[in-house]
Structure 1
Amino acid sequence: MNKKIGFLCLLFCCFKLQAQSTAEDKLGTWYMYNGTHKLSKNVKLKTSAHFRYYELATEYQQEIYRVGINYTFNPKINVTAGGVYSITDTSYKSDAPVLYEYRFYQDLNIKDNWGKIKVKHRVRLAQRFKRKNLINTVAHRIRYGLFLNYPISKNLETYAFSELFIKFASKAYSQNRTGVGLLKKISKNLKLKLGYFYTKFSNSGLHRLQLGVLINTDFTKKTI
């Protein structure tokens, strides 16, 4: 019963936000695919594709594609390096130039346990090559994220996270994302994700709903 009440409260908060009128108060949506594909004992291929909207299913904002190679040193420490391509509509119901971006990124992931809570610290460096209005720019950014997962039952867990974005620029603060949600295990290879997060910028904020599919495959296992 408590799980159902919590789930309904999450949905109620999300759709209440959707009723607001401005871009900042609208509930946008991220439709997400994230994949982890084991290639050998220590190497995994990471893939993802996100389609993001300013509103629930309208007002396109961004599409972003990510691929990376992950290497595991031990059960607690692993690293990832890869690339990103994204297209972003920076306007909201108005005309504005589209932003195209290529990006390289490097992750350091450190895992831990606080009792039943699974903990992950992630430090991400990113080198961003952006093109907008026929103007090319280069920017650098570092992100620190704290991610917590807690099992509710065999096939259901809740998660919470907070991630800080820092730019290598005169105004270092970029944004902070804080969110909560649920992960539903469908099979050993498939999970569904439903969550909400708030992004705080220096002078604005955005509400976002996350709807995702997580796929894990293992190419090291032999099939008959």
Structure 2
Amino acid sequence: MIDLHYAATPNGLKLRLYLEETGLAHRIVPVKLSAGEQFAPQFLAISPNNKIPAILDHAPADGGAPLPVFESGAILLYLARKTGLLWPQGERAQLQATQWLFWQMAGLGPMAGQAGHFRAHAPEAVPYAIDRYTREAARLYGVLDRRLHGREFVAGDELSIADIACYPWVVPHAGLGHDLSATPDLQRWFDRIRARPATQRAYAGVEDPYAKPANFTQAERQTLFGQGAQG
């Protein structure tokens, strides 16, 4: 059994999607970010960076005590290597999946997240930041579009954790100022993943976080965005 500490953000949805695709036994533990539940001591014991998602694996491969894992990319890699599910066969294929997983973690996620923040969550418009991050998100969508040309999935012929990592950051493309018709191979892949039953289950009732300007209270904004070195 896996406890998934979760909120319906793109990073949280990576793990929700992985667990739906694989059918691994799990329990959803909601974390209400705007209420500050990510700062609770019991959550920080699992995720010291006070971010979701995080898991607690009650049946680790070594047979030891329940194992906490934080950071969405690390969790995907851990579960894929442990179970072999959505993990390609062969060293070269595994390297492809790992490279694109790291690409998403280092590039697509952070840049799209900043674009979304300045477009929908910032208390005031910052034109330079909006332009900078919107353009970079579009560039990265272009990189993914070219990667998918002639391929069914990001790492090759089979669905893998690379697709699971990238898809939730393509879902909010419209709120990030990107029209998928400009990237037709990305559009094709996106439509295929969206139609999968596991994706339908994972995204049931989930709203695009960047589709409209956020209406945070001052207290919620401080909780979500105002933390410094001292927490």
TM-score of the alignment, normalized to the shorter chain, above 0.5: no
| TM-score grouping bracket, smaller chain normalisation | under 0.3
Which structure: greater strand fraction?
1
TM-score using structure 1 length:
0.26
Higher relative contact order (CA 8 A, sep 6+): 2
Which structure: greater helix fraction?
2
TM-score using structure 2 length:
0.26
> Which has the larger Rg?
1
